[in-house]
Amino acid sequence: MKSAKSLTGYAFSLPALLLYLPFVLLPFVGTASMSLFNWTEAQKPVFTGLSNFQIVAASPELKQSLFNTVFYLVATIGLEVCGGLVLALLLRGGVSGAKVYQGLFFAPVILSMTVVGLLWKFVLNPYFGLLNGVLTKLGWESLCLAWLGDTRTALLSVCFVSGWKYAGFYMVLFMAALTGIPKEVMEAALLDGTSAVGRAYHVTVPLLSKTWWLCVLLCATGAFQTFDLIYVLTDGGPHHSTEVVISWMIKVAFDRLHLGQGCAIAVLVTGIVLLLAVPYRLLSARKGAEL
């Protein structure tokens, strides 16, 4: 009876494993091992030890794309996580129609990055875009720029588009956490005569620290996985000013066909993401949190 049952356990897990092992885990074994080979499409792979890593490490493009990724990371934490927190606090302030606002702000989250990127390419278009149109109407013509075509503004513009899409996502996470704060705590602060800003700063924000760190983690690991938005908006340009690690990896592997080097970059990305995510997961598991 017992062995029959355990056989059923294996049989039931089989379909999932048949998908998961070859299409999720095997590619990572592939990435790790092929990063040690000089692998181009035309020739047989030759074992070259760590030389791919040396080439990648010496490349000025690594520095540039890592810098851009970290810039994107910091900017999106500011725009999305802080923005989402502010929105959540504003909505908790007792405005009428909070549900409508919430629904509206979350809407861009479900749109694909492709659609969002293409839409914003129009909005930021230097000749007939909405943004420059508005600036002209306000008489600020000197501020009309080629937002995505200028090395000084391209990366920041990309970050703003990401912020436009995701602020609502973090807002919903913070809203959920805010409803978890006991009413008594808020009432006590109200009775003490604390102002709205003081209440937010001294009471609400510290109580949200768990959610805050989750959001920062999602944003940070998200930055090291960003591809879609860059691909649609700028393809890394102009002059690599918006190149992030993944867009660079794709170019190295699929345009220049240095597959081994591409895998070395992938190993680097995997390492960074795991380094960020695993300690958080372990810590929160120990504390008995859900996520």
Partner 1 sequence: MRVQGLSRKASRLAASLGLLLFTGAVSFPVVWMGYSSLKTNVEIYQRPWGLPQNPVWNNLTEAWQVGSLGKYVGNSVLVTLSAVLLIVFAASLCGYACARLPFRGKTWIQSLFLLGLVLPIQAAVIPLYYLLKQMGLLNHRAALILPYAAWGLPIAMFIFRGFFAQIPKEYDEAGRIDGCGEFSLYWRIFLPLCKPAAGTVALFSALSCWNELLMAVLFVQDDALKTLPVGLLAFFGYRQADYSLLLAGLTLVTLPMLGVYFALQRTLMKGLTGGLGDLR
Closest distance to partner 1 from the beta carbon of 115 (Å): 5
Closest distance to partner 1 from the beta carbon of 95 (Å): 6
Closer residue to partner 1 in complex, CB, 99/183: 99
- Cα 180 to Cα 5, 141, 173, 185, 218, distances in angstroms: 41, 47, 11, 11, 20
Structure tokens at 99: 């549900």
Closer residue to partner 1 in complex, CB, 59/194: 194
Closer residue to partner 1 in complex, CB, 66/119: 119
User: Up-side HSE of residue 39: CA atoms within 13 Å toward CB?
Assistant: 21
Closer residue to partner 1 in complex, CB, 46/118: 118
Closest distance to partner 1 from the beta carbon of 63 (Å): 20
User: CA-to-CA distance for 124 and 130, rounded, in angstroms?
Assistant: 7
Closest distance to partner 1 from the beta carbon of 9 (Å): 3
User: CA-to-CA distance for 8 and 1, rounded, in angstroms?
Assistant: 11
User: CA-to-CA distance for 287 and 278, rounded, in angstroms?
Assistant: 14
User: CA-to-CA distance for 222 and 80, rounded, in angstroms?
Assistant: 12
Closest distance to partner 1 from the beta carbon of 36 (Å): 13
Closer residue to partner 1 in complex, CB, 155/259: 259
Closer residue to partner 1 in complex, CB, 71/106: 106
Specify the length of the chain in residues.
291
Q: Cβ distance 129 to 119 under 8 Å?
A: no
CB-based burial, 24-61: b 16+ in 10 Å, e otherwise: eeeeeeebeebbbbbbeeeeeeeebeeebbebbeeeeb
Closest distance to partner 1 from the beta carbon of 267 (Å): 7
User: CA-to-CA distance for 267 and 25, rounded, in angstroms?
Assistant: 13
Closest distance to partner 1 from the beta carbon of 182 (Å): 18
Closer residue to partner 1 in complex, CB, 31/59: 31
